[in-house]
Amino acid sequence: MSFPIHRPRRLRLNSVIRNMVRETVLTPNDFIYPMFVTFGKGVRKKISSMPGCAQVSVDEAVKDAHRAWKLGIPAIILFGIPEHKDEKGTEAYNAKGIVQKAIKAIKDKVPGLVVITDVCMCEYMSHGHCGVIKEGKIMNDPTLELLAKEALSHVKAGADMVAPSDMMDGRIMVIRDILDLNGYEDIPVMSYAAKYSSAFYSPFREAAESTPAFGDRRSYQMDPANRREAMKEVALDIEEGADIVMVKPALSYMDIISDVKDSFDVPVAAYNVSGEYAMVKAAAKLGWIDEMKVVMEIMTSLKRAGADIILTYHALDAAKELNK
């Protein structure tokens, strides 16, 4: 017998009242902007499956970083496209590697911006897998050593935070260890804790030139069918020292975002991945949706589901819209 006493529409009567009772409010401060850095100068190579995104050389990356900072975005995450790839992913931990150069240049010109780095081997390995390969198998423990070296070299170059995305077991522990041993106990680790083996990553693989030469990533990334297993992965990473935990992808995994938020007391990040971005862009290009309204709805929903931080290629556009 709630009606006519209860009329939820009373609180939707006009925009002032709607604003008063809104539960989730977005700000540019919620975003991390992902960037792809490549060698060369003055390079801005468009990524066809991610309209609006590009591989940029270090000088151009500095401009984009500055743009993000001016819009009120607190952080970027860097992915590197090295000039040479090999079986050991040497460029990943080269002090003069592409990401290391970009960190230095960006921190030099935009010191306040939080520079996060993606720590993974796939962009640096000739075979495109996230770890060392032996007889066709992706080896866990030998990969840990490389990841630790890579993380340390990013931090030595000036990174403010590292984000391991490889899904090897034990990587948070070895990274925490090596950073502490070298006096970087104050550098936080944001782990890609519940990272699923997803078809939504395919545009990224064009962007980062990291498509596996054989097989797929199902022996290390999670099975999309599993929900409880995400709790195990997140718990392990927190135990090993993760400061922030990420769920990835975001849209098809909002149940996971919500579970993680309910069960753990650390900040939760959600990665609105390349395929999610590409779908919005494609539909908008065809005139089938209103891009900005859809973007805002997606971002709000992710925050409502429990994300404290959203990694998204829409960050610049969304921040512009929010600053209007």
- Given the rule CB under 6 A, which residues bind ligand PBG? 118, 120, 122, 130, 165, 201, 204-205, 217, 273-274
Spatial contact of 275 and 201, defined as CB atoms under 8 Å apart: yes
Considering 101, 248, 261, 303, which one is annotated as catalytic?
A: 248
Task: Write the CA distances from 32 to 6, 74, 111, 116, 198, integer angstroms.
Answer: 41, 7, 16, 9, 21
Q: Is 45 a catalytic residue?
A: no
> Nearest residue by C-beta to ligand PBG?
204
Partners of 222 in the β-ladder: 196
Write out the E strands in the chain. Answer: 31-38, 44-46, 54-57, 75-81, 114-119, 132-134, 137-139, 161-164, 190-195, 244-248, 268-272, 309-312
Q: Which of 142/212 has CB closer to ligand PBG?
A: 212
Q: Which residues contact 234 (CB under 8 A, 6 or more apart)?
A: 193, 194, 245, 260, 263, 264
Q: For ligand PBG, give the closer residue by CB, 209 or 243.
A: 209
User: Among residues 85, 101, 107, 195, which one is catalytic?
Assistant: 195
CB of 123 to ligand PBG, least distance (A): 7
**CB of residue 207 to ligand PBG, shortest distance in Å:** 8
Active site residue 248: yes
Under DSSP, is residue 300 helix (H, G, I), strand (E, B) or coil?
Answer: helix
177: tokens are 């260890």
The tokens for 279 are 């779908």
Smallest distance from ligand PBG to CB 311, Å: 8
Choose between 78 and 155: whose C-beta lies nearer to ligand PBG.
78
Least distance between ligand PBG and beta carbon 165 (Å): 4
Q: Which is nearer to ligand PBG, 69 or 124 (CB)?
A: 124
Residues noted as catalytic: 195, 248
